[in-house]
């Protein structure tokens, strides 16, 4: 793989390869863009089929984090780490500590966290070697699970969407179909039912459906057809790639607003949704609650401050929808353009010389 070419194509600043002889750690840290602040992004542990696949993933994910942070209105850049998992050996606690040492060497240029394949226990190991991380359990001074904060943001996105489509932001009496009743989906179902929505929900795990149905007023549904449910709002809260060339014609919703990352097969699906008159709340804005919670830890966690910031998702999406109507562009294209504008604006502000901030005008 031509790494410099790939970095140039996506606009990356730095890629760091980390190897530890003792623990066998093979980790790659990618820093995409630090215009807004230090690069923030999780650490993924995955049995990649090749080094190229790992590099491709870390470049893609770190770029995505730049957009996500900028969209959330938090002053962080985009970063990501991947650890190449050895399928023959369970990763040791020391492997995560070795990773923490390497994160520490960057002195805050990159801040790590949990991602696919890593969990709270791994973060605790990493935290023994570096303070540049977010998402520790409450018992270790972190803010704990982000499921409810993310669900609060999804509710704000649903309200903005309802207001734009129907002229009222109220969930009362609205049919909401949720795919996935995990950490976010469960909290979303609970909050929506509390607000008077008629909640239809599905999960491939029957235990979580049974538990949710016992606790919340929901109608359990078939996980294989939930995307085709006739409803006001479809909330994908399980997997990515739910809006694709195979599913687009079967969707029977007015609005899509959920927490799953990368809901569209590709950005052109944004146009397909617009043509079908389905209002799409871009995922990287809708699901920013967890990121906002994590980022709030950096300056000393305050739940009220984080929740207030999450409520801004309502206003943000309202702006996206209005601009999409005015320009005829898809909501995805508008959201991307708004994020790029924010980065450019702050880039130009940071050209102002400050003796304390050695980032000087070019
Ligand atoms: P989770 O693993 O707790 O829950 C996912 C649930 O989806 C599980 O219960 C699983 O059984 C179910 N599921 C998987 N495939 C399914 C299918 N085909 N149909 C129906 N159900 C299915 O994950 P989570 O933390 O709730 O996150 C949900 C989504 O939101 C993920 O895509 C995640 O990347 C994204 N997200 C989460 C957060 C957060 O704060 N947790 C933040 C941003 C984005």
> In CATH, what number is assigned to the domain containing residue 85?
3.40.50.10860
- Percent of the chain exceeding pLDDT 70 equals 98
* Same domain as 96, residue 129: yes
* Same domain as 129, residue 156: no
How much distance in Å is there from the Cα of 263 to the middle of ligand 1? 12
Residue 346 counted as domain residue: no
- DSSP codes of every residue in 281-325: --HHHHTTHHHHHHHHHTT---HHHHHHHHHHHHHHHHHHHHHHH
**Which atom belonging to ligand 1 lies closest to the Cα atom of 179?**
20
How much distance in Å is there from the Cα of 69 to the middle of ligand 1? 20
How much distance in Å is there from the Cα of 80 to the middle of ligand 1? 20
* Same domain as 324, residue 267: yes
- Percent of the chain exceeding pLDDT 90 equals 89
Alpha-carbon dihedral angle through residues 66, 54, 289, 129, given to the nearest 10 degrees: -100
* Same domain as 233, residue 94: no
How much distance in Å is there from the Cα of 136 to the middle of ligand 1? 20
* Same domain as 151, residue 133: no
Question: Which domain does 95 fall in, by range?
Answer: 3-66+75-137
pLDDT in tens, 56-85: 999 999 998 999 999 998 999 999 999 999
The structural domain count of the chain equals 2
Query: pTM of this prediction?
Result: 0.91
How much distance in Å is there from the Cα of 147 to the middle of ligand 1? 10
Lining residues, ligand 1, CB within 6 Å: 146-147, 150, 179-185, 202-205, 208, 223, 237-239, 259-261, 287, 290
Residue 267 counted as domain residue: yes
Q: What is the pLDDT of residue 360?
A: 42
Which residue has the least CA distance to atom 27 on ligand 1? 184
pLDDT in tens, 119-165: 899 999 999 999 999 999 999 999 988 999 999 999 999 999 999 99
Of 117, 137, 157, at which residue does a domain stop?
137
């Amino acid at each position: 793989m031509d790494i410099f070419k790939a970095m140039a194509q996506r606009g990356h600043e730095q890629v760091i390869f980390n190897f530890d002889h003792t623990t066998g750690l093979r980790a790659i840290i990618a820093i995409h863009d630090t215009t807004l602040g230090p690069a923030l992004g999780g650490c993924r542990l995955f049995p990649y089929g090749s080094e190229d696949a790992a590099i491709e993933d870390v470049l893609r994910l770190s770029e995505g984090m730049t957009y996500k942070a900028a969209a959330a209105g938090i002053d962080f850049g985009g970063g990501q780490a991947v650890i190449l998992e050895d399928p023959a050996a369970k990763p040791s606690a020391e492997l995560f500590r070795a990773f923490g040492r390497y994160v520490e060497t960057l002195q805050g240029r990159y801040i790590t966290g949990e991602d696919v394949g890593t969990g709270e226990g791994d973060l605790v190991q990493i935290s023994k070697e570096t303070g540049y991380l977010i998402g520790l359990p409450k018992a270790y001074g972190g803010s704990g699970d982000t499921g409810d904060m993310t669900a609060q943001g999804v509710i704000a996105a649903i309200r903005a969407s309802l207001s734009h489509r129907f002229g009222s932001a109220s969930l009362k009496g609205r049919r909401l179909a949720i795919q996935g009743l995990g950490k976010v989906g469960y909290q979303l179902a609970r909050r929506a039912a509390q607000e008077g929505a008629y909640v239809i929900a599905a999960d491939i795990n029957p235990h979580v459906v049974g538990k949710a149905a016992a606790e919340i007023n929901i109608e359990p549904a078939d996980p294989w057809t939930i995307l085709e449910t006739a409803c006001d709002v479809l909330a994908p809260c399980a997997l990515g790639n739910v809006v694709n060339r195979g599913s687009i014609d079967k969707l029977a919703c007015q609005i899509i607003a959920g927490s799953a990352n990368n809901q569209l097969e590709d950005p052109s699906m944004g146009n397909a949704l617009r043509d079908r008159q389905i209002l799409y709340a871009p995922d990287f804005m809708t699901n920013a609650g967890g990121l906002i919670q994590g980022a709030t830890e950096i300056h000393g966690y305050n739940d009220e401050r984080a929740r207030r910031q999450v409520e801004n998702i309502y206003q943000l999406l309202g702006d996206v929808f209005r601009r999409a109507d005015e320009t005829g562009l898809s909501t995805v294209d508008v959201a991307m353009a708004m994020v790029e504008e924010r980065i450019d604006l702050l880039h130009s502000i940071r050209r102002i010389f400050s003796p304390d901030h050695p980032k000087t005008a070019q």
